[in-house]
Amino acid sequence: MTHAATSPATASATSPEGHADTHLWLEDIDGAKPLAWVKQHNAETVQKYAQTPEFKQLDARILEVLDSNARIPMVNKIGDSYYNLWRDKEHPKGLWRRTSLAEYRKPQPAWETVIDLDALSKAENENWVWHSAQCLKPDNQRCLVSLSRGGADADVVREFDLRDKQFVKGGFELPEAKSNVAWKDRDHLYVATDFGPGSMTTSSYPRIVKEWKRGTPLTTAVTVYEGKTDDMTVAAFRDNTPGFERDFVNRQLAFYDSETYLRGKDGKLTKIDVPNDTNTSVEREWLLIEPRNDWTVAGKTYKSGSLLATKFDDYMAGKRDITVLFEPTDSTALDGHSWTRHHLILNVMENVVNKLEVLTPQEGAWKRENLGGAPALSTIAAGGIDADDSDDYFLTVSGFLQPTTLYYGKLGQGEPSALKNSPSFFDASRYTVSQHFATSKDGTRVPYFEIAPKNLQANGKNPTLQYGYGGFEVSLQPSYSGSMGRAWLEQGGVYVIANIRGGGEYGPRWHKAALKANRLRAYEDFAAVSEDLFARKITSPQHLGAMGGSNGGLLMGNMLTLYPQLYGAIVSQVALLDMQRYTHLSAGASWIAEYGDPDKPAEWAWIKTFSPYANAKASQKYPPTLFTTSTRDDRVGPVHARKMYAKLADLGYDASFYENIEGGHGAAADNKQSAFMNALGYTYLWEHVK
């Protein structure tokens, strides 16, 4: 499949203001001429930043972190076994392996290899990157294994037998595509994939879902549901919880809007009657509802960001007996929830720090108990291990200076016990973590975390790296990074995480505050954090670097064009940057709900205010900037970084570019590539802000 969603030959060559886009030729992602251009500029960047002994030492030290055999092998339970995907020096593509709980409790478990990705790639002459495995309950013998070529979102799907540890000859198999696939039963799948012309949405995802019977051609699969071309995608799945087997169809209208239908045995679809911007999930007899906006039903109003529970069958029959399980405040937001067999674990954030509650269903208000809170400025998370079978759970605790500890517990049976500890990769005793609040342009208080040496001098000269994301309701919480510790803290730098609007740190309201026409609020927040660092004399513009990826890469592009005076250098990774063309590139149309539609003149009027590619101009004091991306990124695509770099270079600015040929949206297909990409970003910033 081609990566380019739109042929550059047919694309508009001018902006609404009449300016010619002289870099459209770079949109031919796999074209010989653009790839030659990529290799040329890759070589220039490597020569300039990745040839020194210091770089090579840092690259090796980051790879040592990523390949460490002392890392916690995180697992998920399938049947009676616990499965893990493991990458290290000997297995760069990875081993999908399994063990028993008794064995997993040991310091050095004995593992049974199920799939060796390196051996499979060699045998099939493919660069397979692991995506997922869906196994059919309750016997958990057959799985649908999804493998990507080089890390792209598109993957192939092949049926696998866990008992025989072999792909099933003549079994279910789907060619490379962005597919949504799920088991209905052993001989039937729900499949949404590329069925040919007209079967995909403008977002490059499936528009049609079908039921496919074993032993029959895919072309004879029976249509279950057809969405519209301008929908985002569709999917169908079966909940195989014993005694509560149900089939569902999901129509994703846009990133935050969807419709979910219960599919009867006769194929009839009955919509779950909630607002389209509301998230729902079903577990046994319960329907959980998360409204993104205030929702009034049956004379009661439920707040945006709440978690509500009701009996599924009663709700589908028209009853509206709803119990509030969580309601946000100005400082709290729901971070997630997870079922065990008899309980529901809630993960709640208060000013971006977690605490856990256990809820037990009962008539009226559910029983509530605390499961634990994180140590100061750390992250705690818990999840049920097998909601069909037990009240066992895994719990993790980590922080910027605290390597992850994995605990195992059973609800109602005392405190969890420590099971595994991650190693330390740098001397955390030399540093301290603090949380601060900056005041944004409109008066909003914006939290940020700072990790700094204990002996920090407030002299405005400390090399500082400020990281941010600010989109899609994604929260940036305390977490341990051996790579960051080695690459930045150990060099004497200060590391800052900015919890700007657009993220989910305070629930849907924090996200919606920076949507579409309000996008500039996110960039004002990031700038406010930078200015607060200056006011506190932590650093100064010549010593402040900024980094972000994907939507955070768009953030970086806007800090470059809107606030160049605040930064000594910027690294923009796998970024959106050309916001006039983004809906026509890779999966860009799926994010119209986040940014708006630039093909509508009224919306382009405000989108262009945060389109770095449109706003970059001559005679500005832009800081040095590095753009990194991946040829195999079929989500955002490499086109944005290519064109932005080319434009800045044409204007005579100090810019650099590196495109990994593999890696997908993560920009790396294995640990070695990941170490290189990380080392490159950190080295670039350090060279310019030290």
DSSP codes, 230-296: TS-EEEEEEE--TT--EEEEEEE-SSS-EEEEEEPTTS-EEE--S-TT-EEEEETTEEEEE-SS-EE
pLDDT value for 103: 98
Question: How does pLDDT run across 195-221, given as a tens digit for each residue?
Answer: 999 999 999 999 999 999 999 999 999
> Does residue 1 or residue 353 have the better pLDDT?
353
Residue 587 has pLDDT above 80, yes or no: yes
Of the pLDDT bands very low, low, confident and very high (cuts 50, 70, 90), residue 665 is: confident
Least reliable range by pLDDT among 59-73, 457-471, 664-678: 664-678
CA pair distance 23, 369, nearest whole angstrom: 59
Residue 229 has pLDDT above 70, yes or no: yes
pTM beyond cutoff 0.75: yes
pLDDT value for 12: 42
Does residue 393 contact residue 406 with C-beta atoms inside 8 Å?
no
Average pLDDT score over residue span 494-508:
98
Look up residue 255 and give its amino acid: F
Strand-pair category, 544-549 with 464-467: parallel
Question: How does pLDDT run across 15-28, given as a tens digit for each residue?
Answer: 555 568 999 999 99
Average pLDDT score over residue span 496-524:
98
Which residues does the annotation mark as catalytic? 550, 665
With helix as H, strand as E and coil as C, how does 329-344 read? Answer: CCCEEEEEEEECCCCE
Confirm or reject CATH 3.40.50.300 for domain 24-49+426-689, answering yes or no. no
Question: How does pLDDT run across 626-642, given as a tens digit for each residue?
Answer: 999 999 999 999 999 99
Q: Hey, how many other C-beta atoms are within 10 angstroms of the C-beta on 368?
A: 11
Residue 9 has pLDDT above 60, yes or no: no
Phi, psi of 274 (to 5 degrees): -135, 160
Residue 389 has pLDDT above 80, yes or no: yes
Average pLDDT score over residue span 114-135:
97
Does residue 340 contact residue 77 with C-beta atoms inside 8 Å?
no
Of the pLDDT bands very low, low, confident and very high (cuts 50, 70, 90), residue 4 is: very low
CA pair distance 182, 239, nearest whole angstrom: 10
In terms of C-beta density within 10 A (0-12 exposed, 13-18 middle, 19 or more buried), how is residue 203 classed? buried
Of the pLDDT bands very low, low, confident and very high (cuts 50, 70, 90), residue 664 is: confident
pLDDT value for 1: 29
Average pLDDT for the chain: 95
Instruction: Quote the percentage of the chain above a pLDDT of 90.
Output: 94
Residue 323 has pLDDT above 50, yes or no: yes
Phi, psi of 137 (to 5 degrees): -80, 155
Of the pLDDT bands very low, low, confident and very high (cuts 50, 70, 90), residue 2 is: very low
Q: Which two tokens stand for residue 550?
A: 């994907």
**232: alpha, beta or left? (left if phi > 0; alpha if psi -120 to 50):** alpha
Residue 260 has pLDDT above 90, yes or no: yes
pLDDT value for 425: 98
Residue 189 has pLDDT above 50, yes or no: yes
Question: How does pLDDT run across 531-562, given as a tens digit for each residue?
Answer: 999 999 999 999 999 999 999 999 999 999 99
Question: How does pLDDT run across 44-57, given as a tens digit for each residue?
Answer: 999 999 999 999 99
CA pair distance 674, 663, nearest whole angstrom: 9
C-alpha Rg value of the chain to the nearest Å = 25
Q: How far is CA 456 from CA 162, 273, 390, 450, in A?
A: 54, 56, 49, 12
Phi, psi of 229 (to 5 degrees): -60, -35
Q: How far is CA 515 from CA 97, 211, 509, 588, 594, in A?
A: 42, 37, 10, 16, 6
